[in-house]
């Protein structure tokens, strides 16, 4: 039962993380997309084509969301008989954003 619960929590967390990242760049400027991803807790790696200013860049791809989790013991309220369970805690998140900053 504990394993099933832990897997369900991990799957739910994965869905929450991947969902917003996939749509972050649909109708936004490059800087707005990067800022939005950073506000969601991502460290953003940028791949860039061209030397134009950021205001002229277009997001061409958002990919490779990586989430690193660590299993941490939890003992507290709501746990009958004070049993300890392991819960996943996100320790870092990275994502890659590709920009086209060439003059069109």
pLDDT digits 0-9 by tens, 13-55: 454 444 554 455 556 799 999 999 999 999 999 999 999 999 9
Quote the pTM value: 0.64
Q: Which residues fall within 8 angstroms of residue 61, CB to CB, at 6 or more apart?
A: 96, 97, 98
The average pLDDT across 92-98 equals 97
Domain count for the chain, please give it: 1
pLDDT band at 78 (very low <50, low <70, confident <90, very high): low
| Residue 24 phi, psi dihedral angles, 5° rounding | -60, -30
**Residues of the domain holding 11:** 2-100
The average pLDDT across 67-87 equals 81
Six-digit token pair at 84?
């300890």
């Amino acid at each position: 039962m504990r394993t099933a619960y832990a897997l369900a929590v991990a799957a739910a967390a994965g869905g929450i993380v991947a969902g917003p990242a996939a749509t972050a760049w649909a109708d936004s400027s490059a800087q707005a997309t990067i800022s939005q991803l950073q506000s969601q807790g991502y460290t953003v790696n940028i791949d860039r084509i061209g030397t134009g200013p950021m205001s002229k860049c277009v997001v061409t791809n958002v990919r490779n969301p990586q989430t690193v989790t660590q299993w941490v013991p939890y003992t507290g309220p709501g746990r009958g008989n004070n049993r300890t369970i392991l819960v996943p805690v996100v320790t870092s998140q990275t994502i890659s954003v590709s920009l086209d900053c060439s003059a069109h």
